[in-house]
Structure 1
Amino acid sequence: MFWYHDEVEQLARKEILPKGEKMRVLFYGSSSIRLWSTLAEDFPEFEIINQGFGGSTLAACCWFFNKLIPAYKPDAIVLYSGDNDLGDGRHPEEVYLFLQNMMEHIKESCGNIPVGIISIKPSFNREHLINSIHYTNKIFKNLLDEKYSNGTLINVFDEMLEINKSSRELYEEDGLHLTDAGYQLWKRAVRDQFLQQFVASSKDSSTKM
């Protein structure tokens, strides 16, 4: 894990500000999270923290979890990882075990907070892995449905796969990282499938007061 050292150390040194009135949502995972530069603008209803680090695997996210996450006391976590594990040759069942490990880390350190897992994306760079990606997303969902009631799989796979059939607009030239259009799709999915429930419940509470 030494190749992540410099970036992880930089993240670990970030100032931890006191929590305000907004729900604190921490985004964690690989470069698809790290490069999401508009997170705070995309979700202004929340206090956003970005702890993504480039090239990270789900294995690495588990390894560095205690160093990077609990001190921020998140109210919810959005995770994107597993993509690079498959790219490195790991089998879906291995990645499944890492997600289970991650969910246990969250439970032990942060409590039973809501967790949104963004499904692994279908990218041009990893077209040869499409069946493994699809299967990994399926067993991710099964794990969350069967064992973690606080976990939600945020499905970006189906819509991205459909768009990929006729356009490369969601991806940079490397066929792996997202363009602004790709992040707009992720923004809608994260909001509609995960974060919107907290906005609604917040509004309901304020109406009753």
Structure 2
Amino acid sequence: MFWYEHEIKRLEHRRAETTDEPETLFYGSSSIRLWTDLENDFKELRPVNLGFGGSTLAACAWFFERVMTGYQPKRLVLYAGDNDLGDGRHPEEIFIFFRDIAARVQKRFGPIPCYFISLKPSLSRWHLIEQFKFTNLIIATEINENWPNWQTIDIFSSMLGDDGRPRIDYFMDDGLHLSPKGYEVWKSVIQRQLNMHT
């Protein structure tokens, strides 16, 4: 995990340098990290962007305590797992990492409202789409059955076109990272779900 050290130190430094008390933590991979308008898009929820580039759900669990130091949020939004599958991990492994993070959140913050953003259907990882679907299914089932303070936010279906494939205009040229249009979809779907529980 040493290759994330620079990014983790950046997040630690950011917390040390600010006196703000964010109410909503957005935590996860580059889909969060690269959301440059996130803090404006959700300003009424007083958010902070705690994404770090290339991170896996495994890395989010590994660095959880360090990144969360100094925060006392009212809610947490998580997106990760995409890169785990891209790195060759199995859905069942990602399921275990999710349970690890959920337990860490419970221990540190108590039963605050938490949201898991479903894995997105990336163009560049379409060959893994059945694994993405299965991962989303088993995590959603786990949340429904065992974590009453968690909700799943389904962005998967909103990113598909009429042909059942990911819409090209929602992605950058690499077919993996979100375009401004893609972030508009995320903003709409996530806001709708958060507004139901705030």
Whole-angstrom distance in 1 between the partners of 2:166 and 2:76:
33
Aligned residue identity for 1:188: S
Whole-angstrom distance in 1 between the partners of 2:120 and 2:188:
15
Whether 1:17 aligns to 2:19 is yes
User: What's the counterpart of residue 90 of structure 1?
Assistant: 89
User: What's the counterpart of residue 75 of structure 1?
Assistant: 74
User: What's the counterpart of residue 137 of structure 2?
Assistant: 138
User: What's the counterpart of residue 59 of structure 1?
Assistant: 58
Whole-angstrom distance in 1 between the partners of 2:54 and 2:10:
15
- 1:46 deviates by 1.3
**For structure 2, which runs of at least 5 residues remain unmatched after alignment?**
none
Structure 2 length as normaliser, TM-score? 0.94
Whole-angstrom distance in 1 between the partners of 2:3 and 2:93:
21
**For structure 1, which runs of at least 5 residues remain unmatched after alignment?**
200-209
SS of residue matched to 2:169: coil
User: What's the counterpart of residue 203 of structure 1?
Assistant: none
Whole-angstrom distance in 2 between the partners of 1:198 and 1:139:
23
Whole-angstrom distance in 2 between the partners of 1:123 and 1:34:
17
Given that 1:156 and 1:189 are in contact with CA atoms closer than 8 Å, whether structure 2 keeps it comes out as yes
Whole-angstrom distance in 2 between the partners of 1:42 and 1:93:
33
List aligned pairs for 1:1-209, cutoff 5 A. 1-14=1-14, 15-19=17-21, 24-162=23-161, 165=165, 167-193=167-193, 195-199=194-198
- What is the root-mean-square deviation in Å for CA atoms of aligned residues? 1.4
User: What's the counterpart of residue 204 of structure 1?
Assistant: none
Q: Identity of aligned pairs, percent?
A: 45
- 1:165 deviates by 3.3
- 1:36 deviates by 0.5
Whole-angstrom distance in 2 between the partners of 1:85 and 1:166:
20
- Provide runs of 4+ in structure 1 moved above 6 Å: none
Aligned residue identity for 1:168: I
Whole-angstrom distance in 2 between the partners of 1:113 and 1:123:
30
- 1:162 deviates by 3.0
Given that 1:121 and 1:160 are in contact with CA atoms closer than 8 Å, whether structure 2 keeps it comes out as yes
Whole-angstrom distance in 2 between the partners of 1:33 and 1:167:
19
Given that 1:16 and 1:72 are in contact with CA atoms closer than 8 Å, whether structure 2 keeps it comes out as no
Q: Deviations over 1:31-83 (max 9, x none)?
A: 00000011121112111111100000000000000000142111100000000
Whole-angstrom distance in 1 between the partners of 2:39 and 2:191:
13
**Number of residue pairs aligned between Structure 1 and Structure 2:** 195
SS of residue matched to 1:84: helix
